[in-house]
Amino acid sequence: MDYDPTNSGHRTALATDIRATLTGLGFTRKDLGAGTREEVYFRASTRIRGVEMRIYTSIVDGEVRDVGGDSIKVCAVYGMKDGSTRGLMKERRVFRTGQLEEIAGRVKDRIRLVAGDINGVQSCRCGGPMGKSKAGKDYCMDLCWKR
């Protein structure tokens, strides 16, 4: 059935599908504080310390937002030693369009892509992950050369 963002039942069903998919893949809900209203799910990397994959679901108050312009985002972040986070990578957005049953499947596909990219990340000698600068050069995301 085609997803209709104006239909509250569709928005609730999609939120349920997304939650079930994420919990089935080992993701846990994370509270990011007062600035974030949507449900965010995360799963820590088993390979690189401090790296976690995050899914910004666009679920607010039990249903996905009715605004058609936003999307579901899949990314990986690195938790720095000072407590802040830095973006490590992101994948294309998952737009909530098309068949209701296919949207959660597209989220799963993006998760697989980011998980594969995380597995390709090299580690610095200090243990932090290596990121890519805008110029395409590798650098330590822990900024260990500055210490």
pLDDT tens, position by position, 5-22:
888 999 999 999 999 999
CA 16 to chain CA centroid, nearest Å: 17
63 in a domain, yes or no? yes
Kindly tell me if the per-residue pLDDT of 136 is higher than 80: yes
108 in a domain, yes or no? yes
2 in a domain, yes or no? no
131 in a domain, yes or no? no
Bridge partner residues of 86 (DSSP)? 78
Only one residue has tokens 């995380």, namely: 118
The reported pLDDT for the residue numbered 100 is 85
Sign of CA dihedral 62, 113, 27, 143: negative
Reported as a pLDDT band with limits 50, 70 and 90, residue 147 is low
Q: Model-level pTM greater than 0.85?
A: yes
Q: Cα separation of 25 and 47, whole Å?
A: 17
**What total number of domains does the chain contain?**
1
140 in a domain, yes or no? no
Sign of CA dihedral 87, 90, 94, 95: positive
Please give the angle made by the CA atoms of 37, 40 and 46, to the nearest 5 degrees. Answer: 155
The reported pLDDT for the residue numbered 145 is 67
The length of the chain, given as a count of residues: 147
The per-residue pLDDT for range 55-82, each reduced to its tens digit, is: 999 999 899 988 766 789 999 999 988 8
The reported pLDDT for the residue numbered 94 is 93
Only one residue has tokens 């401090």, namely: 50
DSSP state for residue 53 in the 8-state scheme: E
130 in a domain, yes or no? no
The reported pLDDT for the residue numbered 13 is 93
DSSP state for residue 14 in the 8-state scheme: H
> With pLDDT > 70 as the criterion, what percentage of the chain qualifies?
97
